Structure 1
């Protein structure tokens, strides 16, 4: 008889007081829960510490990839479920996760589709209709690529599969909250490009954001999401603009 596989759930946080409690209540099926917090200055730490089954570790944030790999190194179990504070699992997905890791023919890593929530309503298009991400994997066969600072890429040694059930992704709370997130992503992407030796380009600063907006709004059918589609497509394009603007700023400051 095969031994039951144990699951470690990992979460990285910074000022997630409005979302972390509901997530921690939602993942009590895990054998181990670790929150790696980058020194939140709201009530995140106090909320996490109120859960006796959760281990809190504070670690200085450098970038998303290094923080995720640090969290991986803290986990006791081979099977990892990596979640963000703005994500929620359905009962069907929980059951599927436990069934999957106890399958003798389990893959090394699993992609999970996400349902993007705009405030509390589902966003059907705008490029998010095919959004999927690595969330469940065997840590002995996987590691995040250190060259990426944001939109982390998992390097998988072995078979990749896809789970049937979706994660609910409550990413958009307000315009300002999402704009700040997109700005931060843009800054990290600028630093990635700098490390790769890319030079600033006025053409790309103008063309790439416009292309991104039109592609997501027209080709990826953001137009069918109404005002929500315009907002999301604009903010995603804004992040691209920040990427090139920041690259130009950093490069100019070094001259």
Structure 2
């Protein structure tokens, strides 16, 4: 049985700091690379074309819609979807080559190992952080709300697991973590508001501390040293931000309705 052809698909916006490293690590794995860019103003598009990627311009429509659009642009049905700040290890690339030669499932999950300010994080609930990124697009679709998108296969379909790590260079600095938290907590608050949720004083007081101790003690974040402490503390702050923003959204809506 011949190996199935594989499309590697990415969505990008101003990723010149990451995209070259991601594309270089693909080696000869991809039978095509498709990048859906949502109006980058830096060198992202130029770098993608240097690596031979086909670039499709498309306004950002939300993570779920954008990734479904990107998947639809692929020439082949078997797809590996990556983010620009992710990198295949040599071991993972070899493992995917083996899967291409004997594809058996609707999709495959990959263990993701995150680099936080130069340190690999293996505790605090951050590892193995499995993501379903290798899939037959005929057997599923991207699902979710405004945030936390995920690929889901159709009922009755099977999912395999790969062993080698996908490297995730998500947070080069504390500032980058803070900036992402601010952006994502705004989206998270909007999601909760759309579902009719409200933020009580009890949630504002208890949920952040609960998040900290859950990550730092119960999930072993303390074993990652400074990175584990930073992740737990900032994650707790993110919980407070989300519910504080939800409270402001609700109060603004109440005043507007008066």
How has the CA–CA distance of structure 1 residues 225 and 183 changed in structure 2, closer, same or farther, with 3 Å as cutoff?
same
Q: Distance in 2 between matches of 1:63 and 1:91?
A: 31
Q: Does 1:155 align with 2:182?
A: no
Q: Which runs of 5+ in 2 are unaligned?
A: none
Distance 1:144 1:200, change over 3 A: same
Q: CA deviation at 1:122?
A: 1.4
CA contact 1:36–1:71 (8 Å) conserved in 2? yes
Structure 1 residue 48 displacement after superposition = 1.9
1:64 aligns with 2:59: no
Give the structure 1 partner of residue 74 of structure 2: 75
**Aligned equivalents of 2:69, 2:248: Cα separation in 1:** 30
Instruction: Summarize the alignment of residues 175-254 of structure 1 with structure 2, pairs less than 5 Å apart.
Output: 175-254=174-253
Are residue 90 (structure 1) and residue 89 (structure 2) matched?
A: yes
1:117 offset after TM fit, Å? 1.2
Task: Supply the distance in 2 between the matched residues of 1:3 and 1:89 (Cα, whole angstroms).
Answer: 23
Give yes or no for contact 1:183–1:238 (8 Å, CA) kept in 2. no
Change in CA separation of 1:238 and 1:60 when aligned onto 2, cut-off 3 Å: farther
Report Cα offsets for 1:204-241 as digits up to 9, x if no partner.
23322211111000111111212111111122222222
Unaligned runs of 5+ in 1: none
Bigger mean CA deviation after superposition, 40-49 or 208-217: 40-49
Question: Would the aligned equivalents of 2:117 and 2:227 in 1 still touch at CA under 8 Å?
Answer: no
Match of 1:124 in 2: 122
Cα distance between partner residues in 2 of 1:197 and 1:174: 35
- SS of the residue corresponding to residue 126 of structure 2 reads coil
CA RMSD, 1 decimal: 1.6
1:39 is displaced (CA, Å) by: 1.3
- TM superposition outliers: structure 1 runs of 4+ over 3 Å: none
* Structure 1 pair 161–15 and aligned structure 2 pair: CA distance change class (3 A): same
Corresponding residue number in structure 2 for 1:143: 141
Q: Match of 1:200, SS?
A: coil
Q: Which residue of structure 2 lines up, in the alignment, with residue 34 of structure 1?
A: 34
Q: What is the TM-score with the length of structure 1 in the denominator?
A: 0.92
TM-aligned CA deviation for residue 57 of structure 1: 1.6
Task: Please tell me whether the aligned partners of residues 36 and 55 of structure 2 are also in contact (alpha carbons under 8 angstroms).
Answer: yes
